[in-house]
Amino acid sequence: MSDSDLIPRAAGGDPAAFQALVERHRPMVYRVAYQFAGNHHDAEDIAQDVFLKVFRSLDRFRYDAQLTSWLYRIVMNACIDHRRRQKSGGWVPGEEAEGTLLNMPEESPGPEARAYGGEIGQALEAEIGRLPAGQRVIFIMRHHQGLKLTEIAEALGLAEGTVKRQLHAAVHRLRHALTRANVLASANGAAGGGA
């Protein structure tokens, strides 16, 4: 049964239809949440939050949109909300601008994240954790979901130019942080001096 068949049934209160939707989309939601959060505990919290919002909003879903695009937006917002709660433990509107609120590194990566990549992998993990939430979501969608810039722009409801700039800013920031930490320099040395 397709999403467009399941959505009206779930919106009408059919628990089996809602469960089928969750089971179909939970790997994507969890994958993005984990890439964002870096540990199971927070990824589960984010994914729970996402599906609860989906449940609350199904009757307002616009059928001219892809469910996955809609879900991406919800995941992005859930990631940002989660980070805000994590940072402040309480939050007052107008306290800080969106872009600067979300700049805290993760507390600790999960075992899968800790196991990968040696020196570069560890440094990269830490730097990804320091990216502002918007840049991080775009970076993850490009690198881990393999989405084209136009697809990211559509999914997030952003102009393609904005996505390009945020992605550029993320890569620029990672390059410079890794260079400062001498990780890229050593990798370049190991690779024979680069281009």
Q: Which 116-155 positions form the footprint of another protein (CB under 8 A)? A: 116-117, 120-121, 124-125, 134, 142-144, 148-149
The reply on whether position 70 binds another protein by CB under 8 A is no
**Residue 39 has which token pair?**
């540990």
Q: How far apart are CA 162 and CA 136, in angstroms?
A: 14
Q: Compute the C-alpha angle 46/120/185, nearest 5°.
A: 140
Q: How far apart are CA 32 and CA 144, in angstroms?
A: 8
Question: Out of 20, 74, 126, 171, which residue is the one contacting another protein (CB under 8 A)?
Answer: 171
* Number of residues in contact with another protein under rule CB under 8 A: 88
The reply on whether position 2 binds another protein by CB under 8 A is no
Question: Out of 20, 24, 45, 74, which residue is the one contacting another protein (CB under 8 A)?
Answer: 45
Site string for another protein, 79-98 (x = CB under 8 A): ------x--xxxxxxxx-xx
The reply on whether position 16 binds another protein by CB under 8 A is no
59 and 76 Cβ atoms separated by less than 8 Å? no
Q: Compute the C-alpha angle 116/195/161, nearest 5°.
A: 75
